[in-house]
Amino acid sequence: MRNILHVDMNSFFASCEQVIRPELKGLPVIVGGDPEKRRGIVLAASYEAKAFGVKTTMPIHEALKLCPEAILLKSTHGLYSDMSEKVMKIFDDYTPLKEQLSIDEAFLDMTGTEHLYGSIIEVAYKIQNEIKNKLDLGCSIGISSNKLLAKMASDYKKPMGITIIYPENVEEMLWPLPVGDLYGIGKKTTVKLKNLGVKTIGDLATYDRDELTRLFGSKYSDMMYQRSNGIDQRPVVSRDYYDAKSVGNELTFSNDINQLEELYKRLLVLSESVGYRLRKKDLKGKTISIKVKYNDFSVITRSTTIDHCTNVTDTIYKNAYQLLTNSWRQKPVRLLGVTVTNFEDVSPQTSLFSLIEEKQDDVKLKKVDQLTDDLRKKFGYNIVKRASTLHGTEHIRKH
């Protein structure tokens, strides 16, 4: 039997803010929106705020009606990803089989580690205590033999809960819960099921399967049947939430730009940043895209796919340059972006065919990239700038 943990950080964004602002501990904290204008939505709420009924995605003005004493905070740039990295490193110390689902949750396959850490319940407490002692953050942990039940168990008791749900516990612990609590059942499906008289997970588990198939299709109905009965054969797959599918940067201009030559300079800044990040991650891509937002808020995207993978700044820029030239509408531009996708790993195991293709990139340009990368690693990214890109400061956003 497998032993799987699902670790879910408690009110992660708000808890991170309370860590760097200890004076806020024990107080109702809401992260999100504009604290001065009191607009926007709730990105996160501390448990003290949740006690008043404040929920994620709720409009700020509604949240403040429920909890007038709440302390509104803007999200702190970089804080949550930094804390997430520290949490994930703790997980990595316990098992190589870690599947990160989001910035604040992961599955851990602990099968066969009993001789190292003790029973599965003992290791759950060890992980929970280590996160609390080292990072001052709380988490809830679900324990089971499959991913579905481990995730359902972590939701069972918050904050700082540890709950066990094995398949033999499903009828007692899962079936009485509202059907909308079942992982994978969305709001629209919940409404449809309730109209059928399916109010609990147990109702769904025992509902006529032929009727489910007729109403929802065979694939979705099979998923609902299996999950409502606690069945899940999916393995824990080692991966990080930040496994890249794309690398891109955007520039939001402080003043709209209506000169193509000025846009080319910004495009070079973006291409250089994207190339640097690709090389840092050992990634190459074939598809280069640009995004242009005009001052009337219309947005266009254009892309091109080249015949070889690259992370060379000059190659990225030349293709982005051509895309911009062909698509510019001669209107003031508010935002410009460059993205590279369609990746190939450039680790030492890269195939011979890929290495042959690689020669299509100019060797001298690759040497320039390597030199500037080495300088940036040693002295900081901004130590090297191209003369043609020197201009005023804008906000650069990575994605």
Strand, coil or helix: 307 = strand
* Closest CA relative to residue 274, chosen from 331, 315, 324, 332: 315
* Closest CA relative to residue 166, chosen from 118, 115, 120: 120
* Closest CA relative to residue 223, chosen from 194, 189, 196, 199: 189
In this structure, what DSSP letter does residue 167 have?
Answer: G
* Closest CA relative to residue 248, chosen from 375, 335, 330: 335
Instruction: Report CA-CA distances (Å) from 33 to 11, 41, 43, 50.
Output: 17, 5, 8, 17
Counting every residue written for the chain, the total comes to 399
Strand, coil or helix: 352 = helix
Alpha-carbon distance of 206 to 229, in angstroms, equals 9
Cite the active site residues: 105
What strand order describes the sheet that includes 44-45?
A: 44-45, 29-31, 71-73
SS3 helix, strand, coil % of the chain, rounded to 5? 45, 25, 35
